[in-house]
Amino acid sequence: MIEHLPAVNATLNGIAAVLLAIGYTFMRQGRIQAHKRTMLSAFSVSVVFLACYLTYHFNAGIVYYQKTGISSLSLSHHPDHAYDSGGHHSGASRSSRCGEACAWTSNGIAPSPAGRFRFGCM
């Protein structure tokens, strides 16, 4: 069940976004009661999202990025974000700042052992 929660979370966020857009439209049209009901619905969906999100992250443990999907594909083909097969950044800043053995994450932010994020190499 817990492995389905990320999809549930994405769906709940999508529903909340649609409800917010509908509520905005109602507000612009002067339909106060419809706006109020829609905003309360969006809030309720957001509360359910928060409960699902916290449930997932309290029970899922550490989840590592698998480097699949559109974001890793687009970053690997962008000239400013060139990486070799070992995950090493091929930009000039890598060798000048961190040395040859530095591995970069796709966004230049590496998790530290304490769980905090730091900029630069891992």
- List the chain domain ranges: 2-59, 70-119
For residues 39-50, average pLDDT: 97
CA 119, CA 109: separation in Å to the nearest integer?
A: 5
CA 57, CA 45: separation in Å to the nearest integer?
A: 18
CB 122 within 8 A of CB 103: yes
Segment 6-30, tens digit of pLDDT: 999 999 999 999 999 999 999 999 9
Report the range of poorest mean pLDDT among 5-14, 26-35, 81-90: 81-90
CA neighbor of 108 nearest in space, from 95, 99, 117: 117
Annotate 40-62 with b (16+ C-beta within 10 A) or e (fewer): ebbeebbeebeebbeebeeeeee
CB 9 within 8 A of CB 52: yes
Strands 117-119 and 109-111: antiparallel
Give residue 102's pLDDT. 43
Give residue 18's pLDDT. 98
Q: Output the pTM of the full model.
A: 0.53
CA angle 58/64/66 to nearest 5° reads 135
